[in-house]
Structure 1
Amino acid sequence: MLGPSEAVSSDMLAAMLRYMPVRTLMSFSHGAITEEGLSELLDKFNQAVASSQSHNS
């Protein structure tokens, strides 16, 4: 019988993280990522995407 650590493979974890809503990071971080921190992260991500798109135009 598999224990909890063996039940979730790295491939399964990667797939879960790939498709989960970004807001879920706050729950998984156990307080390390706050709503404010997540908002800042999304702002930086959006700026990077916008910059990348303007360079490719």
Structure 2
Amino acid sequence: MIYWGDGMLVRIVYYMNNTLPRERIVVTNDIKKAERIAREEMEKLRARGYELEWVA
């Protein structure tokens, strides 16, 4: 596994209405924190949904 300090990598994919999906990688080991980050960014981007994936 790949460790980055105290956290693990989480890939967030944002599904947009009229464009290709956008991706973001965050470092955390708390799934609730990753979901909170995804929801906040989803509102900013006006995305229609998101998906979380543990990268490592």
- Which category describes the TM-score, using the shorter chain as reference length? 0.3 to 0.5
Q: TM-score, with normalisation over the residues of structure 2? A: 0.34
Larger radius of gyration: 1
**Which has the larger share of strand?**
2
TM-score norm. by structure 1 comes to 0.34
Higher RCO (C-alpha 8 Å, min separation 6): 2
